[in-house]
Amino acid sequence: MIVRECTKCGQKNRIPAEHLADRGGKCGKCATAIEPLDKPLEVNDEMFDEIRTKAKVPVLVDFWAEWCGPCRMAAPEVEKAAKQAAGQAIVLKVNTEQQQALAARYNVQGIPNFIVLRAGDVVLQKPGMVKADQLLAYLSTASAAA
């Protein structure tokens, strides 16, 4: 379960990983609509695996680190892509300094490094700084692979 805060009342709502991109959810306290995830979600390995295995939509993963200049330059582009892909994809951020085993699992040698997953499988992996439109193109690759 992923916890998301209601934008109206601040209530913390548990959202199953398979529903992060869904429309129609409501806050358990005030019934305000909980929109699909529209920003990158920072995850640990447990959250990552839950989303990877249960997501009904493609998942874009940004492997990054705070000290990485290109990663900082990519961050606003990743945010734009997440906003544009809301409801159609989920965007995750993995801090390679804190989640070293997860980065190693995907052979992340350089950062930023982007991976697109579909049904838990890697569809595409590309290192390097890219713009939001290229990230969205990466996600389109996953949709075409479905």
The residues that are catalytic are: 68, 71
Cα 33 to the center of its chain, rounded Å: 21
Tokens of 26: 């409501």
Task: Say if residues 78 and 107 touch (Cβ distance below 8 Å).
Answer: no
Would you report the helix, strand and coil content of the chain in percent, each value rounded to 5? Answer: 35, 30, 40
**CA angle (118 as vertex; 133, 76 as ends), nearest 5:** 30
Q: Which of 64, 56, 44 is nearest to 115 (CA)?
A: 64
